[in-house]
Structure formats: C-alpha cells, structure tokens
Amino acid sequence: MNEDLFSDITDTLFANKAILSEEYQPDEIVEREDEIDAFRSALKDVLFGRNPSNVFIYGKTGVGKTAVTEYIMTALKAEVTRRDDADELHVHFRNCNDDTVYRTVRALINSIRGDDCEPFPETGHSTAHALETLYEEMDSNGGTYLFVLDEIDHLSDPNTLLYELPRARANDHLTASRVGVIGISNNYAFRSSLSPKVKDTLMEKEIAFSPYDADELRSILTTRAEKALIEDAWDDSAIKLAAANAAKDTGSARQAIDLLREGGDVAEENGATKITDEHIEVAVDRVQRGRVENKLRDQTMHGQLILEALAKLEVSGSTPAKSKHVQQVYVRVAESRRQEPLTTLKSIQNHLADLTMLGFLERTEHNEGRAGGAHYQYELALDPTIVIETRDAIESEPT
C-alpha cells in the first residue's frame, strides 16, 4: 500500500538539517576574525554620521564573503540604532549576475520603495533617468545607504555604476543622504579591469578572503554539527575527513558542509547511528558529481563544448594542450553535437580565459624561445569522466 511507503522511516541523525543548508545564516561566524575586524574598521564612519567607505570583498566561492557581509550588516544596523550621531541606515542587497546597470539601479529603486509602491518601469527610460530617480528616492528618505552588490564583476558595465554612486554627493545629486558601495567578487583581478577614473573615485577598502585550510574547516564543521545533528551522531574522524577533502579541493566551507550533510544522508540510508569515514567517502563522490553538473549547466553552450573537448583530451592523455589543439577538438565535438562551432581562435581563447578564471581549467605559461614564443597550455581542473557523463546527460534531455 502507498500509505506504508514511508512508515519504516522513524529515526533521523539530524536535529536541524536547515543548519547545513546554503541559505542558513549563522549567528556566529568562526574562523574569519581578521576579515570581520577589517570589515568593522572599514565601516566605522557610519557610526558617526560620516560618508561610508566603499568596500570590496574578494575571494573564491564558499569562503564566507556573503555570510560575513550579512553578519556585519546585521550588527551595524543594530549598533546604529544605539548611536545618536549615526544617521538611519538602509542596507540593500543585489546580485548583479548578468545584470545591466539599468536593471541593477531599477532593483535598488524598487527595494527602497518597497512592495506597496509602484515599481520603476522595466523599460522606457535611460540609465541616467534611473539614477536620477534612485537619488530622489534616497534623498526623500535621508540617512545612509549601503548598496551590497554581489557578483559585481558580472555587471554589464561596472564602470558606470562605480563612477556614479561614490560621486553622487560630491556632484550634488544627493544632499540629505549618503551612500557607500560594498562590492563582492570571486575575481581578484576585477579592480584592474576598471577604468582609471573609477579607481580614483572609489578610494575603496579591500578585504581578501583566502580559502579555508583543513583545521579551519574542521572548526566550522564541528560548530555546525553540534547544532545540526543529534548528540553522538558523528565520528570526529568523519568531520576531519570532510574538512580535509574540501580543503584539498576548493577550501570552501560550502563544500565541506555539503559533504557533512550528504554524509548524514548516506548514514541514514544505511541505517547507521552515526556518520563515519565510510559515509563521507561516499558523500565525496556524490557531492563532486553534483557540483560539477551544476557548474557545467550554468555555462554557455560553447563553454560546455570547450570543457567537453578538454575532457576528451584529458582522457586521451593529450593535456596540457595549446588553444589551437583545443580548438581542433572543440570543432569536432560541436559538430558531433549538431552545434555551429565558433570560427575564430580568439573566441576560443576568450572562453578558455573565462573558464580558467571560474576554476574549471588550470593554465600554465610556456616559452619556447624564438622558435615558438610564449603561449598558454590548458588542462581540466575537474574529473573528465564526470564532465563527459554530464554533457551526455544534457544532450539526451528533451528540448
């Protein structure tokens, strides 16, 4: 009978599984004391009613950038209410992935207006008009505004926004309010891509988040396990193994937490009373496959085809490979997938550079002297078998 399908599931190792989810915001941040201190110092002027500094946060995915930012914003808002010198603080978050400046500004306007007011139009106005409206909304409320722009390096034209906002008060666009930009980026080279006048305008504080090491991840996992799991539901060696695997791979707390959660699921599937090393070993394979698949699906079709080409080169023992060799295999892969291949080597090299920046590839520079000159060679930073299996799965899905 269908009603008996779940009747035998009566026990769980999880006291609060949500604590091991990506959206969980911890009450306490561990192993980021130095970054928190730097962040706190960068924003101290807000407490005295002064113009806030612009702050840029750099680091790989899963190293605590967003969690620390949200933690700091919560604490700052609470402290502002206790300070007579501080103006009212308004914090607005926006993820800029694949955003235009207009869409970002529109989102900030609507966030300030709230759900009860008429939203700013999606089309029909210029970016300049959108910025004017943003300034009007800010000044009508007054106070200090902090705009937290996550993945700011993915904004279509960051120069425009990062030139306009920090100069808004100096240019008399704002009189009753102040503004600071907090940019979050996975790309350490993002600042170097900005125009000279923007760099001069920003005068920002920079905070770099390095990958976690195994001991730091072990501390984070232990803190989460004590809240997320029931008592005595894990071996310390399992925590250590999950931390070591994540540290060796990405240094990401998110990956380590995923391993612990998946390890708990594996343990429950096997009727175990605690998470052991064996459960974590199974979880490592599951999580790796899931993460590769999700990251691969997020790429453009040609990005996927280039990764598939490199996976095939890797399997055949032909990596590291020059971009010309990658292009030759990519063309064959594209044609086999009934896709029109990109025709220029430069377009392939641009994709290779992007995929390297995103952590899919490893790039080494070789210099063959006068005969061959300097060039890059590429190899996959992922399991090639998983890449090929995922690409096959994507291609077999109905369109």
Is residue 297 a known part of a binding site? no
Say if residues 177 and 51 touch (Cβ distance below 8 Å). no
Rounded CA gap, 335 and 331, in Å? 6
Question: How far apart, in whole angstroms, are the C-alpha atoms of residue 313 and residue 330?
Answer: 10
203: left (phi over 0), alpha (psi -120 to 50) or beta: left
Give CA angle at 222 (65, 219), nearest 5°.
55
* Helix, strand, coil percent values for the chain (each to nearest 5): 55, 15, 35
Give dist(CA 197, CA 273) in Å, integer: 61
- Six-digit token pair at 387? 């890449």
**Strands, E assignment, the chain:** 55-59, 89-95, 143-150, 177-185, 205-209, 321-322, 361-367, 374-380
Residue 63 is assigned to a ligand binding site: yes
Q: Is 66 annotated as a binding residue?
A: yes
Distance of CA 277 to the CA centre of its chain: 29
Q: Which residue is associated with the tokens 């002027």?
A: 45
Residue with tokens 């501390």: 219
- Work out the angle at residue 58's Cα, subtended by the Cα atoms of residues 291 and 114, and round it to the nearest 5 degrees: 85
Task: Report how far residue 99's alpha carbon sits from residue 394's, in angstroms, rounded to the nearest whole number.
Answer: 26
The answer to the question of whether 371 is labelled as a binding residue is: no
Residue 224 known to bind ligand: yes
Residues in binding site: 63-67, 212, 224
Give the residue ranges of the annotated binding site for ATP: 63-67, 212, 224
